[in-house]
Chains A and B, each alone.
Chain A
Amino acid sequence: MSPEMSNIVSFLIPAYIVFWLITFLYAFSIRSRQKNLEKDVETLRMLVEKKQER
Chain B
Amino acid sequence: MAQTKTDRLGVALIGLAAVTIAVAIYFAFGYAPTADTLSGGDMQRIFYFHVGIAWIAGLALFVTFVCSILYLWRNEQRKYDVIAAASAEIGVVFGVMVLLSGMLWARPVWNTWWTWDPRLTTTAITEFIYIAYLMLRGALDDPQRRARFSAVYGIIGFASVPITFFATRWFNTIHPDLFSGTGLQPLTDHMKPAMFIALAAFTLVYVALLRLRAKVEFTADEVAKLKHEIINA
Contacts and interface: CB of A to CB of B under 8 A. Distances in A.
B158 interface: no
A27 B42 contact: no
Interface string B107-121: 110000000000000
A7 B233 contact: no
Contacts of B96: 22
B36 interface: no
B42 A4 contact: yes
B156 interface: no
Nearest to A54: B233
A30 interface: yes
A1 interface: no
Chain B, interface size category, equals 20 to 34
Interface in B191-212: 205, 209, 212
A41 B223 contact: yes
Interface stretch (B43-51, B142-150, B161-169, B174-182): B43-51
B28 to A, nearest CB: 9
Given A4-B42, A26-B93, A15 B104 contact: yes
A26 B223 CA distance: 22
Nearest to B92: A26
Contacts of B50: 15
A37 B223 contact: yes
Interface stretch (B61-69, B74-82, B124-132, B214-222): B214-222
Contact of A8 (B25, B42, B93): B42
Interface in A1-28: 4, 7-8, 10-12, 14-16, 18-19, 22-23, 26-27
Interface residues of A, number: 29
B229 interface: yes
A30 B219 CA distance: 12
A22 B40 CA distance: 25
Contact of B219 (A4, A37, A45): A37
Given A11-B43, A41-B219, A51 B104 contact: no
Interface in B23-45: 25, 40-43, 45
Contacts of B213: 30
A18 B226 contact: no
Interface string A16-54: 101100110011001101100110110011011001100
Given A11-B43, A12-B45, A33-B216, A18 B233 contact: no
16 contacts: A4-B42, A7-B43, A11-B43, A12-B43, A19-B97, A22-B97, A23-B205, A30-B213, A34-B212, A34-B219, A38-B219, A40-B223, A41-B226, A44-B223, A47-B226, A52-B233
